[in-house]
Chains A and B, each alone.
Chain A
Amino acid sequence: MTSTTTAKLAEAFTSNRAEQMPLDVTREFILPPFLPRINLDRDRKSLRIQGGRGCGKTIFIRHLCHPTQLSPQKTDIDSVVLGRIGLYWRSDTAFCGLMKPGWLGDRDADSAFSHYATLVILTEVASFLDALARAPLKDGPIQLHQTNLSVVTAEYFDGRIERFGQIRDFAKVERIRLERWLQNPKLDRPQFLRYEDLLQDIAEDLASHDPRLSDLFFRVFVDEFENLEVNQRRLVCDAVKHAKARYSVNFAMRRHAVNDFETSANEQVVEVHDVRTIDIELLLEQVPEDFKLLASELLLLRLHEKGIRMPTTYFNYSKLSDPAFLEERLSETYRRHVVEFAETVFPGWDGPSIAEKVLQDSALRNRLSQLIRGALKKHPSSGALTEDDFLDHSKPAASVVTGCILHRKRHRPDEVIQWFREYDKGNDANPFKGWIENNLYGALFYLYIGLPQRPNLLYSGFDRLCTLARPNLRVFVELCRAALTQSLDGSAKGDLLSHGLPVISPEAQAEAARSVSESILLEQVPNLGTQGEKLAEIARRLGRLFETAHRRPSQSEPEINHFSIEDAGKVQLNAETLELLREAKVWSVLYEEKDTKNKSDYSIAHTDLVPNPMFSPYFGISYRKKRKLTLDASQVNTIFTGTGSQFESLLRDFNRKWDVGQEDPEHGQLFQ
């Protein structure tokens, strides 16, 4: 593959935000595997679509809206789609900021926002009518522009318009008037409209003009709900709470960004009763295989768009957005084939194979030798044993874990060597079996962490890239782009062709993971919300803490990469820490997960706080959720809000506790 080809392929992954995509996402959207589980056709209840940044909320909504549902790119569209047709609304946040009580007074602020909502919805209805007029519906398009409004509908417009085709201009003129008045409320106030009855009556009116519209039902989607002002969110909640026969109001938001769903009448919007939550992240987390399927299909789709011939008949891009093929896509055979091809593009090595590579790499092998030598020196029972006795190319995994095992006081070198020598004899009682199972990854991370210039092969392979990115498809796309770009750098890394697909070497993947990790941590996180810089600093501090844990020579608790807070002390978390914790969850810097294994008897921590796995390659630490650190409130306060020197002091305490620092004098701290 030439570097020009690779560059073109990398381009396929450069535009990765739904907002940069067209309103009609027929070609971009892949029906998610979780669709049958949420069954959107079940009812017309309001939906709350939630998930972290980049998990695909916007594209999911756009797929449900009229530009996609009535896309000219489709054929023979069943009019059943008109029974749940979406109208998209993303507010101009700063403009909405003018509809605040502080500027307009309580009453006018609310009325102005309702009026604005009405005009946005009317503009969307006008676009829906345009889409309807050119939609490839089964029995042809529905042209209603010249159709007269009913007497009831016309009344809302004060006799200013007579036909459906005039709605757009009406909304446009009113938007200009509203805009002018909001800049200077001393001007004449526009005549305010409310959409509640208006939208209901327009839908009724439309439904009477064509039998295919008889079941017409609008789903109004308010994207980025969290960015609205408090009074505006209440007005949206009013509409959610009081759905009408012909429409419902739905909203999308980042997880944790809003906790209060109160209406203007101080009622709460209640899950199940008023709203159904579709948590895209949760749905993708629950079934990791689904994320892998989506990621594989996305990869193949983007490659297909760049002219790569697909090596299998199983994959056909036109199936991806067609509900008729969803069942087939969810079959085991299809999944296996598609994922297999993604694995061809992103090959990876298993743990023992990476151990083999370690023994072949002089620098990594040297580090392992030093580790073993250091341990032998400490033990009186070492006798004449040397590190070479524990390095055996025929037993790479056992060789790699030996260094850590020997650093544990309870294991005598003269015993360990016996088990090591007999490891390949097939004795099930040989402890190396368990040691490898529990320590191989930890030992490998330990070795790589001391040599940060070496691409860590534990960050390569399709499966691992999915684990790093999950549940964020945008991150996966960034990894694809970076990996293809890395392949550009050197043909030595082996960007070969297999079955017509590009193959990215594990080394290039690992380097890509490191560069994407760095870019997210240092360039993206600091710009998230108003506290981005602080969130990035917290992520850096946590990374350094876990990196220290990974440097423990004994690896007695390998792969510590997340934490929980002692329940008893939680009340001592200061207000700023609590606010930053919330922000960190909103922006997916930290994920809150249910505690699965609480090893401490006295602590009653119920939730784990897991840094975004995508930070791991930057620090060279594990991305697998294996072990956690339980911190007390004061330690958490120090990490979140302490000064630099307070944090350094905390880190030194852990260094001492974990016996880090004496083990490898030639390698200092990596990330200051």
Chain B
Amino acid sequence: MEQLIQLTIDNIPVEVIEGTTILDAAKKIGVKIPTLCHHEDLCVAGNCRICVVEVQGQRNLSASCATPATNGMVIKTNTPKIRKTRRDLLGLLVSEHNTQCTTCYRSMNCELQLLASEYNVDNNIFLSVLKESDKKIDRSSYSIEKDPSKCIRCQRCVRTCSELQGVNALTVAHRGEHMRIETFMDLPLNEVVCTNCGQCVNRCPTGALTERRYFDFLWDAIGDPTKHVVMNTAPATRVVIGEAFGMPVGTRVTGKMVAAMKQLGMDSVLDTDFTADLTIIEEGTELLTRLKKLIVDGDKTQKFPMLTSCSPGWIKFIEHMYPDHLGHLSTCKSPQQMFGALAKTYYAEKKGLDPKNIVSVAIMPCAAKKYEANRPEMKASGYQDVDAGLTSRELSHMIKQAGIDFMRIEEKHYDSIMGESTGAGVIFGATGGVMEAALRTVYEIVTGREVPFKNLDITPVRGMEGIREASIKLENCVEAWKFLEGVEVKVAVAHGLLNARKIMDQIAAGTSPYHFIEVMACPGGCLGGGGQPIPTNEEIRKKRAQAIYEEDANMPKRKSHDNEEVQLLYKEFLGEANGHKSHELLHTHYTKRNKV
């Protein structure tokens, strides 16, 4: 039984469930207590101490994030004592901080900066205790930059890496004045188990962890008349770009985003949704082929469940953590990499361009895509297939740099050849979306009918539950797939690498009951990706998901196999799904990696 308790905060009575923290009780009545180490997605740390409040009868102040409210408590959140304490604490954090805000990527979107400003912290109160050793920036990773001089030791990144992702690439090391956030032995990020997911970046309150920026590279390419710049935008970008321009979370800005990119000077603005649809054809075919080999040919070496391979953070995770189970992964490249391989082959051919002059850039909700673009095996076109992966944050930045009035810009459509998409491609941006898109197509291939869900909305695989499962029975199959008659296809969806770990432990133990599993590295899927606008929390992710599903619902075509440009691609260029050319360009292999 949940017990209700009463207390007063700043003379306002409030009733909450026993166990509620003072911070949350205050939130309930609209009293905002400042925080730094606190994050809604993470467990309580109570180490920054900014959220201290006065509890009547207590000699010392209490950290409101870590103190449960009790019945009859009398709390003050804003007294001279509290303000002085918070100001001192902020002064201390500033004294340990590299305060060159003018040169910081996170300037104007920094929690420390904001609070220091609110509390009018005079920089000179305390001596600088910023360590020389903290001034070394780790730029070893293609995806993530670590600048210890901007770290406030809130440990949000450490908790993210552990609690949400189960990776533990980051740790708190040393103690006392030398305590800092490090990798194993303080090795460069590119030498450790970091999956490049960027979830730490999303939760870093300052500029200590950021994505590697590639917009200067892109500006140079745009400015170079010999180069033909092809952009593709990931499904989850179109529902977030507005956030950087003050639009409400969950606003769909597809047309504006396309228009802005055209104004930036791209030669062609295309859609990653196109290759998302293509992925469904390739991956769906791969799944059916594996099933056929197992059931018809009796080939017991076929690996089940088959695992999706669109999420590069997830790929690096499984390579590090479960190197003996890579055979479960679909061999399909991610939509970004399929796009890159086609941009410098198919697209080049159609446009009559020399692929060496094509610069292919992806706008992604993702930090791991940067690393993926630089994987040595991703050169199917004979060139680096994707020249750069930029986050949606970087794109917003570029739009601002170009002085574009995003709010007023007229919507435009994607260019053609690889610009068409369906609703199935769009929902790749939400956890469960790949699965839903795959089922819409696979079911129809096998049975000749649409999936038996109202409006094609396969709701069991939607939502924010960490692991979701569904099953769908194949009945009245068409002739070619008769061997699947009566088979109940069991699927699961997992997002966040901690959930991926659970899925993998089951597979490693040989107890996984599924045929097909979608795994996304980031909580919420790509819409919560490591390249998306900061801040993030479940409420924000739900709003973005809603926008994605709205976008899907409003698309004229909602099944990948209905994408006419994809059909044309097969007809003109690839031949058949999983065929020779597909394998050459659209499929990949994986690498066993160490556990350090």
Q: Do A and B associate with each other?
A: no
* A interface list, Cβ under 8 A from B: none
